[in-house]
Homo-oligomer: A and B are copies of this chain.
């Protein structure tokens, strides 16, 4: 009894450290993808989101999501902190996609609302006390570690934010899409790899424990499949890119890996090795397809967050209904789709309303002058690399 409690607590603390490694992961990824003049700003957003979203979840959101409910199988502090570690991710997804033009103060206000209310409400319906249980809206989706609950939630909030805030100045001029290259590729690689490793804690920890043979097998399979889908996503994009351009674009390859990781997140505990390969290959391909598609609609997302998190969050959740279909247990495509759809509508509508409202009082969008100068100066009062002479 005690041994199981001890092992599950320890395992959850281990998972937590991996998940929190995703904070520098996201920060480095986004800092590498934006222009040098916006690097400090995007880093500050990442750190402030971790601080503010976590605190909002601790003081408000947790009770909203789980009520008095807590897992007796491990230390309540471990369970509490594990749930807390998730919240910032959903908002990180969103903050990256509005990078290079969204201001920090309104973003911090939205972070409080998202971390304290919107995300906890989603968790309430999916993993928590479930206030809509028994109603016609009851969600019976399988979503192990949040392809929908985290990733497409973050994605829908991002889409709402982009619609309110608009594209970066100079991104779409006339019929032209101006390519804005990533400023620091080593940071992109470092960030993506830290996210990849953090994912083992995300998905593995979501099994809920490791203290029996069955649980240990389930955790190991989950982490194995998680990794395989990441590998497959990277290979998928690498091969497609080489066929088409005879080039290996590392930022796309990494987004492919991340796409595979997002996609496998809903069903990593249920997939076979070959399912995980297919889910990841398709995940990577979806990134390749989606990136130009969003640009065609002038939805400006400097880090590719919509393609990675929203598109693959949906794909991964639906994939559970295909590869792990089991009518007896209620794992069906329809149930998965219902969950995806309800959370989509809830998150998009509420986020749009909240962002719209905040924007009325505290404008989200940096002025054209601020964008040209870079947000680092106007928002942070410091440059990211003050001693390096700029070539651009």
Q: Which of B36, B80, B185, B249 contacts A39 (CB 8 A)?
A: B185
- One of A3-11, A297-305, A306-314, A341-349 at the interface: A3-11
In the complex, chain B residues whose CB is within 8 Å of the CB of A216: 5-6, 9-10, 74-75, 78
- Asked whether A58 lies within 8 Å of B273 as measured between CB atoms, the reply is yes
**A23: Cβ under 8 A from any B Cβ:** yes
- Asked whether A379 lies within 8 Å of B185 as measured between CB atoms, the reply is no
- Asked whether B43 lies within 8 Å of A387 as measured between CB atoms, the reply is no
- Please name the residue on chain B nearest to A55 by beta carbon: B231
- Asked whether B54 lies within 8 Å of A231 as measured between CB atoms, the reply is yes
In the complex, chain B residues whose CB is within 8 Å of the CB of A186: 27-28, 31-32, 39, 43, 184, 187, 384
How many residues of chain A get a CB closer than 8 Å to chain B's CBs? 110
Q: Considering residues A9, A10, A46, A221, which has the most beta carbons from chain B within 10 angstroms of its beta carbon?
A: A10
- Please name the residue on chain B nearest to A225 by beta carbon: B77
Q: Which of B14, B204, B251 contacts A382 (CB 8 A)?
A: B251
Tell me which residues from 371 to 387 in chain A have a Cβ below 8 Å from any Cβ of chain B. Answer: 379-387
In the complex, chain B residues whose CB is within 8 Å of the CB of A182: 382, 386
With A200-B17, A250-B43, A392-B387 as given contacts, are A78 and B220 in contact (CB-CB < 8 Å)? yes
Identical copies in the complex? 3
In the complex, chain B residues whose CB is within 8 Å of the CB of A76: 220
- Asked whether B6 lies within 8 Å of A6 as measured between CB atoms, the reply is no
The smallest beta-carbon distance between A7 and chain B, in angstroms, is 6
Q: Which of B47, B189, B250 contacts A253 (CB 8 A)?
A: B47
Q: Which of B5, B50, B190, B217 contacts A75 (CB 8 A)?
A: B217
With A9-B216, A10-B11, A392-B386 as given contacts, are A247 and B185 in contact (CB-CB < 8 Å)? no
**A266: Cβ under 8 A from any B Cβ:** no
In the complex, chain B residues whose CB is within 8 Å of the CB of A367: none
- One of A158-166, A205-213, A358-366 at the interface: A205-213
**A232: Cβ under 8 A from any B Cβ:** yes
Complexed CA–CA distance, A16 and B226 (Å): 13
What 0/1 pattern do residues 238 to 280 of A give for CB contact below 8 A with B? 1000100101111101100100000000000000010001000
- Asked whether A390 lies within 8 Å of B387 as measured between CB atoms, the reply is yes
- Please name the residue on chain B nearest to A190 by beta carbon: B24
Q: Which of B27, B231, B245, B379 contacts A247 (CB 8 A)?
A: B379
- Please name the residue on chain B nearest to A186 by beta carbon: B31
What 0/1 pattern do residues 9 to 33 of A give for CB contact below 8 A with B? 1111110111011011001100110
In the complex, chain B residues whose CB is within 8 Å of the CB of A379: 247-248
In the complex, chain B residues whose CB is within 8 Å of the CB of A189: 24, 27-28, 31, 43, 46-47
What 0/1 pattern do residues 42 to 53 of A give for CB contact below 8 A with B? 011011101110
- Asked whether A212 lies within 8 Å of B27 as measured between CB atoms, the reply is no
Q: Which of B58, B74, B248, B389 contacts A388 (CB 8 A)?
A: B389
Q: Considering residues A11, A51, A52, which has the most beta carbons from chain B within 10 angstroms of its beta carbon?
A: A51
20 contacts between A and B (CB under 8 A): A7-B10, A10-B216, A16-B223, A17-B197, A31-B186, A39-B185, A39-B186, A40-B185, A44-B248, A47-B253, A51-B253, A78-B223, A104-B248, A182-B386, A184-B186, A186-B187, A247-B379, A248-B379, A250-B380, A388-B391
Interface residues of A, Cβ cutoff 8 Å to B: 2-3, 5-7, 9-14, 16-18, 20-21, 23-24, 27-28, 31-32, 35-36, 39-40, 43-44, 46-48, 50-52, 54-55, 58, 74-78, 80-81, 84, 104-105, 108, 181-187, 189-190, 193-194, 196-197, 200-201, 204, 210-213, 215-217, 219-221, 223-224, 227-228, 230-232, 234-235, 238, 242, 245, 247-251, 253-254, 257, 273, 277, 379-392
Closest 5 CB pairs of A and B: A75-B220, A77-B220, A24-B193, A389-B391, A51-B234
